Amino acid sequence: MQRFINNPDEVVEDTLRGFVKAHADILGVSPENPRVVVAASAPIAGKVGVITGGGSGHEPAFIGYVGRNMLDAVAVGELFSSPTAKSFFDAAKAVDAGKGVVCLYGNYAGDNMNVKMAIKLAAKQGLEIATVVANDDVCSAPPSERGKRRGVAGEVFMWKCGGARAAEGASLEEVRATAQKAIDHCRSIGVGLGPCTLPAVGHPNFVIEPGTMEVGIGHHGEPGVRIEPLRTAAEVGRDMAATVLDDHDLPAGAHVAVLISGLGATPLNELYILNDAIESEIARRGLAIERTYIGNYFTSLEMVGATLTVMAVDDELKRLLDMDVHCPALP
């Protein structure tokens, strides 16, 4: 493992310490729970609290999206493992200003269970937590079983739109509905070229043979729909866009936002090379690209690969995407 780490069992603690030092102007760790990151500004009077949470190892997700007009707090889990119900609850409690809290998270077994229990804990204290569960990963289940799909980088759009809507002063139900709309309008796909290693385990947690790629791979190496020979970026990008758009089925003329994220060890220039083909395919289908985000937005330790997310945007989502934010992970 050619990596910058200390004790493999303390990767999350060490990451959080360095993260909070770097961004102390924007956020901090909750004094009550070292696994909750809270915006310096939270709670904001008259604003619905917006939180998320998930396993670590996806930096800048989830912690990097805490900040003004974005997330108010994040519950932090171990590497690739859900945070506790208590952390979700503490995150909600820390940002509640009496208007309720919405938890915008991804569809994973552990997260589902822990959020469910956090809701129970919160209800006992009269705190309402509404939820939206992201399931934008098209390869993780057929369209007929959309509820089974995993949440991936589309969560960034869900947070951005939900966070902005809350900043506008919307009600809990309005924020929930907007975040739900955002993720309903997202479709994503991942392609893996190389695995990642949990430091405490010390060897890759799955295999991708050199010369091959895994299409539809998940953020923890969940198997994709197929393994095929590694092709040119032009072909890979076109196929990623085609898969996502086939599932999306948008009318020509629809406006979309595009997010291409590296998985941790893929350099930016390769994401641009992919984007060339992706945007060509999107344009070929008569769609108009409103805005493109390219970089490491939602990663998987040092996995080699990339994800594509396409979100169909209406006037509301456009307005919310355009709102200024001040968080570590967004420009």
Contacts with its own copies by CB under 8 A lie at 2-6, 11, 14-19, 21-23, 56-57, 59-60, 64, 193-194, 208, 210, 213, 230, 232-234, 236-237, 258, 264-277, 279, 292, 294-296, 299, 301-302, 304, 306, 328, 330-331
23, 185, 220, 248: which is the annotated catalytic residue? 220
Nearer to another protein, 81 or 280 (CB): 81
Taking the chain, what is the end-to-end CA distance rounded to the nearest angstrom?
31
Among 3, 17, 116, 284, indicate the residue that binds another protein (CB under 8 A). 116
Q: How many CB atoms lie within 10 A of CB 225?
A: 14
Active-site annotation holds for 58: yes
Kindly give the pairing relationship between strand 27-30 and strand 33-39. Answer: antiparallel
Nearer to its own copies, 146 or 319 (CB): 319
**CA dist 319 to 4, 63, 70, 213, Å?**
40, 24, 14, 37
Q: Taking CB under 8 A as the rule, does residue 86 contact another protein?
A: yes
Question: Can you read off the two tokens belonging to residue 162?
Answer: 């939900």
Rounded CA gap, 21 and 14, in Å?
11
Contacts with 174 (C-beta within 8 Å, 6 or more apart), sequence order? 165
Residue 233, contacted partner among ligand ADP, another protein, its own copies, none, CB below 5-8 A by kind: its own copies
Per CB under 8 A, contacts with another protein among 66-85 are 77-78, 81-85
23, 58, 219, 248: which is the annotated catalytic residue? 58
Nearer to its own copies, 115 or 236 (CB): 236
**Strand runs (DSSP E) across the chain, as ranges?**
27-30, 33-39, 49-56, 73-79, 101-106, 129-134, 186-194, 212-215, 226-229, 255-262, 288-295, 304-312
Strand, coil or helix: what is 184? helix
Give me the 39-78 binding string for ligand ADP, x by CB under 6 A, dash otherwise: ----------------------------------------
Question: Which active-site residues does the annotation give?
Answer: 58, 220
Contacts to ligand ADP by CB under 6 A: 81, 109
